[in-house]
Amino acid sequence: MLSKIYNWIDCRIGLTELIRKEFREYYVPKDVSLWSTLGFVTLIAFLIQALTGIFLLTYYIPHPDHAFSSIQNIMNRIPYGWLFRSMHIVGANLLMIILFLHIVFVFYRAGYKKPRELNWLTGAIMFLIVLLFCVTGYLLPWTQLSYWSTTILTSIPTILPGIGEYISRFIKGGEFVTGVTLTRFFAFHVAFLPFILVVLILLHVFLIWRTGFSSLYDDPGICQKAELYMGRPQYKDGKPFYPDFFNKYMQMTFVYLIVMFFIITFKPGLFLTEYAYVKADPLSTPLLIRPPWYFLAPYSMIRMIPNKFLGISIQLILLLLFIIWPFVDIKEEKNIRKRPILLGLFTVAILVWVFLTIWGRF
């Protein structure tokens, strides 16, 4: 029966030929490793977030009077609601971890160099979109943690002179974090951002398909000088995408799921604090409140630099540099180990980020 259905489809769209050409006969470079699978795992993580999010959307009520109780219902009264929400919370944090690792790996392997500048550009924008997902999603449970973290985060733009106050008010929909902010964030989280993200994912996948896997064995000179599309690079001495590399994808996907369920089983509150179980109270500021861990580094930087405007300016410049990096680093050499200055800067940047994140905890 199944083979009949397959044949029916194959006869019309040439599925067998597509699989043979794009998977079995497509060879990935021999220097790909498990690290190269992080992009695919990120995609799986996105899908898990989307599916669990749709489930939560069925029961969530985006109103300050009901948001917290609807989350409580999901966690306690809806059958297996706790499972979907736990997956959504843990998944969001794991997604950030994988994204960070993916970016670090792509940078290390110089995967942003010609002809892959657009891959980096779309990826960098997607990273920002994911951060916006996190910010908007964080408020939705309407807990003390979400309310006050959002209050801190939305007050950061006020540092900017002139327009800062306006930006902050625009984000919050008023002077304080209120029901208006909740509605606004909800709309962004479930409608506006997913639409942009899906478009960017499709574009990113399309670009990867057209430019192929990056390898250190690519001849950088040829790539740099090419004025016409060179076609997807062929690595005849590499490994077939299917089944060799596809197996690696599967392995890493299971590692992701294992880590996720390890946390849900043994440390379900790892990414939450006690304030995550208390309804938001605008007049009762908790003693210890800080943004989620992935925002701790920029948060610490702003705290550390006495001149707040300088602090936020540095961050905006770093952010811009991050986005346009492929157009800044135009050297031919792809192997970062042969570029000690860049390697040094890269290592220092990671160490500073880790230090600021840990420091932000205190």
Chain residues binding other proteins by CB under 8 A are 64-65, 72, 75-77, 82-83, 86, 142, 174-176, 178-180, 183, 243-244, 247-248, 250-251, 254-255, 257-258, 261-262, 264-265, 268-269, 274, 276-277, 280-283
Region label for 61, one of left (φ > 0), alpha (ψ between -120 and 50) or beta (otherwise): beta
Question: What minimum distance in Å lies between the beta carbon of 144 and other proteins?
Answer: 12
Of 91, 61, 64, whose CA–CA distance to 73 is shortest? 61
What is the nearest approach in angstroms of other proteins to the Cβ of residue 179?
4
CB of 133 to other proteins, least distance (A): 22
| Per-residue tokens: 286 | 């908790």
26 vs 112, beta carbon nearer other proteins: 26
Shortest separation between residue 180's beta carbon and other proteins, angstroms: 5
Q: How far is CA 76 from the centre of its chain?
A: 29
Long-range Cβ pairs for the range 232-235 (8 Å, 24+): 233/29, 234/27, 235/27, 235/28, 235/29, 235/30
Kindly state the tokens that stand for 117: 């500048």
Alpha helices (H) in the chain, listed in sequence order:
2-13, 15-19, 38-59, 67-76, 81-108, 117-139, 144-155, 164-172, 179-187, 193-211, 220-225, 246-266, 296-304, 308-323, 325-328, 340-360
Q: Rounded to an integer, what distance in angstroms lies between the CA atom of residue 33 and that of residue 44? A: 18
**Shorter beta-carbon distance to other proteins: residue 106 or 182:** 182
Strand partners, 238: none
Q: Which residues on adjacent β-strands are paired with residue 239?
A: 28
Do 111 and 215 meet the contact criterion of CB atoms below 8 Å apart?
no
* Closer by beta carbon to other proteins, 133 or else 147: 147
Shortest Å, Cβ 175 to other proteins: 7
CB hemisphere CA count around 71 (13 angstroms): 24
Q: Which is nearer to other proteins, 3 or 76 (CB)?
A: 76
| Least distance in angstroms from the C-beta of 170 to other proteins | 16
Tell me the C-alpha distance between 244 and 231, whole Å: 23
Q: How many CB atoms lie within 10 A of CB 22?
A: 13
CB of 45 to other proteins, least distance (A): 14
Nearer to other proteins, 177 or 312 (CB): 177
Nearer to other proteins, 64 or 123 (CB): 64
Q: Which is nearer to other proteins, 209 or 262 (CB)?
A: 262
Q: How far is the CB of 223 from other proteins (least distance, A)?
A: 31
Residue 267 exposure: Cα atoms within 13 Å on the Cβ side: 9
Residue (258 or 304) nearer to other proteins, CB = 258
